Amino acid sequence: MAAKKLLFILCVLATLVTLETTYAHCGESSTHGELHFSHGLSLPGLDSCHGADTDLAGGMKIGVDDVVKAWYMDDVAVAEDEDQRLPHHRQPDEAVPLAKLLDLGIVALRLDAENHERDENLTTMRQERGYLHMDIIELTPEKMPNYEAMIKRFFEEHLHTDEEVRYCLDGTGFDVRDEDDQWVRVSLSKGGLIIVPAGIYHRFTLDNNNYIKAMRLFSGGPDWTAYNRPHDHLPARKNYLAALYSGRGSQQDRHSY
């Protein structure tokens, strides 16, 4: 067991060092104030400069695809009279591999949720990424006043100017936009952790179990500011798009997110 933990720690460290070294080498040190875009996280697989191995997403931890699953959502999902908590798979189903999430700047890990208070892997990751602060929240109708109204509020499309780190201790949730403005549902279940880059439009929902317990990690003090779409003028958004489309030609023919 000790050997497996050591191997995992080394894999995480090697991955993060590779990502940050590649990012620095390419000279993509965009900033929002004093904060480097996505905390120095590159967007692998986008061009020859980032030149990344897209297998990194699946290689961070064996079994990560058991706790982080993603698929393209059907068009019905945007209708106001539809239940946002349903899976909303397309027909036929269109799965989104972890490598695709990594292309969008979203890093996925699997950790030991049962042992999160003493997990050396989590401690190491927090130290390496500079996540100095954390809290744990539970969302459920029994514990949240005005639950139905609140989950509708969480489902509004928005972005943040800092990266968002969510570690699921129990439950599910999350949607993100891809580079073609299509919704990808990311089902983050117990043990799954995702790092969502600053500037990406996304939203949050629970599934029909109406429950999630999650750890939120922050590099600075907690900042709950959400910028509902459209906020394309923000530096964080511009920096995200620049990194996303680097090496793919002009953005003029792309969607205006």
Q: Which of 4-13, 45-54, 58-67, 138-147 is predicted with the least confidence, judged by mean pLDDT?
A: 45-54
Tokens matching residue 231:
């906020």
Looking at residue 25, what is its pLDDT? 30
Q: Which of 40-49, 128-137, 166-175 is predicted with the least confidence, judged by mean pLDDT?
A: 40-49
Kindly tell me the sign of the dihedral angle through the C-alpha atoms of 97, 40, 196, 251: negative
In this prediction, residue 76 has a pLDDT band, given cuts at 50, 70 and 90, of low
- Percentage of the chain beyond pLDDT 70 is 68
CA atoms within a 13 Å half-sphere pointing along the CA-CB vector of 249: 3
In this prediction, residue 81 has a pLDDT band, given cuts at 50, 70 and 90, of low
Return d(Cα 27, Cα 49) in angstroms, integer.
Answer: 9
* pTM, rounded to two decimals: 0.70
- CA distances 121 to 7, 55, 111, 118, 180, Å, are 10, 20, 7, 9, 35
Neighbours of 106 (CB within 10 A): 27
* Residue with tokens 């706790």, as numbered in its chain: 67
Q: Which residue has the higher pLDDT, 214 or 173?
A: 214
Neighbours of 148 (CB within 10 A): 10
Looking at residue 207, what is its pLDDT? 81
Tokens matching residue 213:
């317990």
Give strand pairing partners of 164: 196
| 202 annotated as ligand-binding | yes
Residue 55 has pLDDT above 60, yes or no: no
In this prediction, residue 148 has a pLDDT band, given cuts at 50, 70 and 90, of confident
| 158 annotated as ligand-binding | yes
Neighbours of 92 (CB within 10 A): 5
Q: Which residue has the higher pLDDT, 252 or 182?
A: 182
**What domains does the chain contain, in order, with CATH numbers?**
2-244 (2.60.120.10)
Looking at residue 209, what is its pLDDT? 85
3-state secondary structure of 130: coil
Q: Which of 243, 96, 52, 73 is nearest to 163 (CA)?
A: 243
Question: What is the mean pLDDT of the segment spanning 34-54?
Answer: 30
Mean residue pLDDT of the chain comes to: 73
